[in-house]
Amino acid sequence: MSNLALSAQHNDPAFEDVWEELVWRGLVHVSTDAAELKELLAGPPITYYCGFDPTAPSLHLGNLVQILLLRRLQLAGHKPLGLVGGSTGLIGDPRPSAERTLNTKDTVAEWVGYLSAQVQRFLSFEGENAARMVNNLDWTAPLSAIDFLREIGKHYRVGTMLKKDAVSARLNSDAGISYTEFSYQILQGLDYLELYRTYGCVLQTGGSDQWGNLTSGTDLIHRVERGSAHAIGTPLITNSDGTKFGKSEGNAIWLDPEMTSPYAFYQFWLNTDDADVVERLKIFTFFDRAEIERLAEATATEPFKREAQRTLAYAVTSLVHGDDATDAVVAASQALFGQGDLASLDQKTLRQAILELPHTSAGAGTTVVQTLVDTGLTGSLSDARRAIAQGGVSVNNVKIEDADAVLDGRFLDGGIAVLRRGKRSLAGVLAAEAEPAS
């Protein structure tokens, strides 16, 4: 993200302090002493951190919640540490169901670089409260197993460790839990202790499902240093129907544009349910309370306009992918439904859009009727012919009047065609030679 984009971000001055704003935005699900945290965050700058494990080559929307929390605290004058877990990523925190598949050291090291670059885009590394990136492999790699057990392990009680939610869930499952994953909370506690000692870090943030790991560090600092340290656990974001946010048939919404295209990213936000859109605006945008309340009212009185969803989709896509990419996506979305010139669109963005639609490939001489069936826009050739006769079929926003029409000569540059039946049913066609390798 550019310095200009970062400089445009701000917390809402209508709140008494940043703690009050975090609470209003729904970012505090669980925490250490709330009164102490409120006083701490309203005082002189503190150093705080959040950790991100490289268990994939990209961060996802759940991680974005944490990144934006880091940024909001930085805007309040505090000093963020972004930790990417070069060591904890080699193990992975305990999953609720089964043991993680361990990645190679080379893979984890590569992903550390990817995630570090992603986090850095959202924080400012200039000024008195400049952010700093750290890697926990730097202090865990030199530790021998004996030193780790003597200096850190001795402060942990197995009974307490067994009570942590993530551990107890696995103990009661058929899979059980290995010592490797069982020890994860000790490693995260070590991280907090190291950052407390080195940078005076006194606050860690993370998802509420990580609460056991967060308090592992606060407890360790208290035992070893007799110091006071805090933690904030954000709520797990779910949709109003109870489904897991950001997941659709097991597919996460990634921040990497090669893993989730800007077009798909934008459409995800645009399709937010009315019941969820205000919460999303609070968590994922920097709009102030007055603007969010205005959008909430617009949703209640004129939901058909979907102003809140369009505002949310543009704001978050621009935050993650930049204004230019977002403008290209908006132009593609409009042109697909006849509100713009498809031929003038950025080819990459249009291809991303096509691949999100039902799509097929077509060789020379393929008829429009056949592609209507192949893409599922009609159930049969006779249905396809009937749709054309009724004037309800277009290719690249040009109405098809001949039931025997072929696609030859109708493709846009890049071998792309947009097939539409009626007003809202869309599909894509890729010229056979232009079809991407699977």
For domain 3-236, give the CATH number. Answer: 3.40.50.620
Phi, psi of 413, rounded to the nearest 5 degrees: -55, 140
Over range 111-125, report the average pLDDT. 97
Distance CA 182, CA 28 (A): 27
| Structure confidence by residue, pLDDT tens digits, 16-34 | 999 999 999 999 999 999 9
Over range 390-410, report the average pLDDT. 93
Cβ neighbours of residue 185 closer than 8 Å, sequence gap 6 or more = 161, 164, 167, 212, 213, 216
Low-confidence winner among 252-261, 338-347, 370-379 (lowest mean pLDDT): 338-347
pLDDT of residue 435: 53
List, in sequence order, every residue forming a beta bridge with 81; answer none if it has no partner: 49, 132
Report the relative pairing of strands 30-31 and 201-207 from DSSP bridges.
unpaired
Does residue 437 carry a pLDDT above 70? no
- Answer yes or no: CATH 3.40.190.10 is held by domain 357-438: no
CB 406 within 8 A of CB 366: yes
Distance CA 139, CA 136 (A): 6
**Sheet order of strands, 416-421 included:** 359-362, 425-431, 416-421, 393-395, 398-399
Does residue 167 carry a pLDDT above 60? yes
Distances (CA, A) of 108 to 83, 135, 362: 14, 12, 41
Distance CA 33, CA 192 (A): 18
Task: Round the average pLDDT of the chain to a whole number and report it.
Answer: 92
Give residue limits of the domains in the chain: 3-236, 239-341, 357-438
Does residue 41 carry a pLDDT above 50? yes
pLDDT of residue 436: 52
Distance CA 269, CA 225 (A): 45
Does residue 217 carry a pLDDT above 80? yes
Residue 89, token pair as written in the block? 């990523």
Task: Kindly report the pTM of this predicted structure.
Answer: 0.91
Report the relative pairing of strands 230-234 and 201-207 from DSSP bridges.
parallel
Over range 406-433, report the average pLDDT. 91
| Structure confidence by residue, pLDDT tens digits, 324-337 | 999 999 999 998 88
More confident residue, 364 or 307: 307
Does residue 438 carry a pLDDT above 70? no
Per-residue confidence at 100, pLDDT binned at 50, 70, 90? confident
Low-confidence winner among 70-84, 235-249, 286-300 (lowest mean pLDDT): 235-249
Over range 310-321, report the average pLDDT. 98
Are the folds of 239-341 and 357-438 the same? no
Does residue 414 carry a pLDDT above 90? no
Fold of 239-341: Tyrosyl-Transfer RNA Synthetase (1.10.240)
| Structure confidence by residue, pLDDT tens digits, 56-93 | 999 999 999 999 999 999 999 999 999 999 999 998 88
CB 295 within 8 A of CB 383: no
Over range 1-30, report the average pLDDT. 93
